[in-house]
Amino acid sequence: MPPKPRTYQPAKVIAALVAQTGALRTAVHELCARPDAAERLARPTRLGAWTVRELLAHLAVQIDWVPAHFDDPQEGRPPLDLPGWVAAVGTVAPLLDEQARATARGEFAGDPVSVAQAFDRAASGLVQLLSEDEVRDPQRRFEIRLGSMTLADMLVTRLVETVVHADDLAAALGLDGFPHDRQAVAAVTRLLADAFAERAPGGAVELRIPPYAVVQAVEGPRHTRGTPPNVVETDPLTWIRLATGRADWAAAVDAAAVSASGERSDLRAYLPVLG
């Protein structure tokens, strides 16, 4: 029997998204106030050919997506759950790349002060929407190209965008980490762990990501009691990087960022789970 789908408390998701967006806004203001801001905006990122400017443009588009499309009419697209979104979002990567580049050439093309102002507009629009009662309607649905989601699930996907790309920003700028909201990291960790378990169903491997998630996955003999024969354990940010293709499995194991024991504990064939 498949595991019961995980649910996310809307109030906690909203609070985490407000906090994570606020942390990003602060980071963008600090970046754009630096004397070398223009040079930093032109730096490469680990996302192919994107610069920091294009990364911020993409983040702004994703942060603004729900406010910009909140009142769009429903077109009857097929239902989409959160693991399904994780599995499918890579199929629209070329469109997301085009949007990021267009926004970087447009609203984000100016000097650092104007970049910070553009990011502020996107962040303010989301925070304002999240303060309204309509966003808490459990029956409300939201349609994207990939399908129709509950609005509550759509907000969880915005946590993925803000956590993963905040980590990308910190890496590009050489920062010693990012002040992520704890509940935001928890939700993203759990979603990516659940998506992994759905991609590699089974009970032969126990994936532990303390303190947020434990899932069983991979075909093979199912563990019933005692210490599982195949155990993988890592920290939340390392898991997020592995699950999104930001980190290499072998390098993470060699660096002791991942502990993997048992003959079925090599998970590289199942990674990344989000393209």
**How much of the chain exceeds pLDDT 90, in percent?**
92
Tell me the pLDDT tens digit for each residue of 163-206.
999 999 999 999 999 999 999 999 999 999 999 999 999 989 99
Q: What is the mean pLDDT of the chain?
A: 94
Torsions phi, psi for 116 (to 5 deg): -60, -40
- State the CATH architecture for 200-270: 2-Layer Sandwich (3.30)
Cα separation of 124 and 96, whole Å?
A: 22
Reading the block at residue 214, the tokens are: 């434990």
| Own/partner pairs, 138-143, CB within 8 angstroms, 24+ separation | 138/10, 141/74, 142/66, 142/69, 142/70, 143/69, 143/72, 143/74, 143/75, 143/77
Cα separation of 233 and 244, whole Å?
A: 17
Determine whether domain 10-185 maps to CATH 3.40.50.720. no
Sequence ranges of the domains in the chain:
10-185, 200-270
Cα separation of 173 and 24, whole Å?
A: 13
Rounded mean pLDDT, 40-63: 97
pLDDT band, residue 1 (cuts 50/70/90): very low
**pLDDT score recorded for residue 229:** 85
